[in-house]
């Protein structure tokens, strides 16, 4: 069974198409990345999966439950950590989690709430009012709220935006344990190094369409290219090497050259020396998910 099944989903606001017939499946137990620039349609898609918005056409199911016709079961199977910090300022952290559990018809389960609080390093804040928490602590509570009804599918929409390194590392340790225990995780993030490390498969969206969908390793392999990063002085880059220059943002005197194999490095250096270039700095870098993301976005303008 697919944890999430999206079939030809479109969403229109008047003449504007936020989603244009998206189809994708997230397998049960998978750690799945949903990436794209601002305005690509990620949050719209998540809103439809969560039942917060209705598609103009197409269908979505969560753990086999249609989000439109079997919405109670679909929402019970899903926990969403929203991008925005949304909270009730009149409750403590523990009261907030008890209230969220009540929305799902669950009896008080303080043992599970205590376990969540401990894993998110919130135990010392359990009786603190939500208004008194820092932004990072509030985001931890949002994660706790998404988990309080023990959903098999968890959607994390920019969960580490604006949080410190310690929280980010602790959160990912906890989420990895949940995934190992069988929970399906869907992640949207602008921190592409997180997606590369965590996600087994990735979908990239742009202008409301899926422009890439594959395993993380295959996406990187498909676009694998070495890069020779140089800071030069003395003479400009010789014309012989211009075809190898990559369109990366560079400071004056800095260039990035494509290197398809290690044995191409020495001929490049020889050409630079012959042209009178002095190499001030040099670094040989390898393709990562950020490089792949930039290439795919440029190809789908």
Tell the CATH topology of 2-77+151-221.
Rossmann fold (3.40.50)
How would DSSP label each residue in 22-63?
Answer: EEEEEETT-EEEEE--TTSSHHHHHHHHTTSS--SEEEEEET
pLDDT of residue 22: 96
Angle at 124 between CA 121 and CA 126, to 5 degrees: 95
Lowest mean pLDDT among 55-59, 148-152, 284-288: 284-288
What's the confidence (pLDDT) of residue 198? 95
Contact status, residue 185 vs residue 33, Cβ threshold 8 Å: no
pLDDT at 249: 46
Domain parsing of the chain, residue ranges: 2-77+151-221, 89-148, 225-285
Reading the block at residue 198, the tokens are: 């965590």
Q: In this predicted model, what pLDDT tens digit does every residue of 65-113 receive, in sequence order?
A: 999 999 999 999 999 998 888 888 889 999 999 999 998 888 888 899 9
């Amino acid at each position: 069974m697919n944890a999430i099944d999206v079939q030809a989903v479109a969403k229109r606001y008047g003449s504007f198409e936020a989603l244009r017939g998206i189809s994708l499946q997230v397998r049960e137990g998978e750690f799945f990345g949903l990436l794209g620039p601002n305005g690509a349609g990620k949050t719209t898609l998540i809103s439809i999966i969560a039942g917060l918005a209705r598609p103009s056409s197409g269908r979505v199911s969560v753990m086999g439950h249609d989000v439109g016709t079997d919405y109670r079961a679909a929402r019970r199977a899903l926990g969403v950590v929203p991008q925005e910090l949304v909270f009730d300022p009149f409750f403590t952290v523990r009261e907030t989690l008890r209230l969220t559990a009540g929305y799902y018809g669950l009896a008080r389960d303080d043992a599970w709430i205590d376990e969540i609080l401990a894993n998110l390093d919130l135990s010392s804040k359990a009786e603190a009012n939500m208004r008194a928490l820092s932004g990072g602590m509030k985001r931890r509570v949002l994660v706790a709220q998404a988990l309080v009804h023990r959903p098999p599918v968890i959607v994390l929409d920019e969960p580490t935006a604006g949080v410190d390194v310690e929280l980010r590392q602790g959160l990912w340790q906890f989420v990895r344990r949940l995934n190992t225990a069988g929970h399906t995780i869907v992640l949207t993030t602008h921190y592409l190094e997180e997606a590369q490390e965590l996600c087994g498969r990735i979908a990239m969206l742009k202008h409301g369409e899926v422009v890439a969908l594959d395993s993380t390793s295959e996406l990187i392999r498909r676009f694998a290219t070495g890069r020779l990063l140089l800071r030069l002085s003395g003479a400009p880059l010789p014309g012989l090497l211009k075809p190898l220059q990559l369109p990366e943002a560079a400071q004056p005197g800095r260039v990035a050259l494509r290197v398809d194999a290690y044995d191409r490095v020495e001929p490049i250096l020889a050409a630079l020396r012959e042209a009178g270039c002095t190499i001030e700095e040099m670094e040989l870098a390898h393709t990562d998910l950020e490089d792949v993301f930039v290439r795919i976005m440029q190809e789908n303008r």
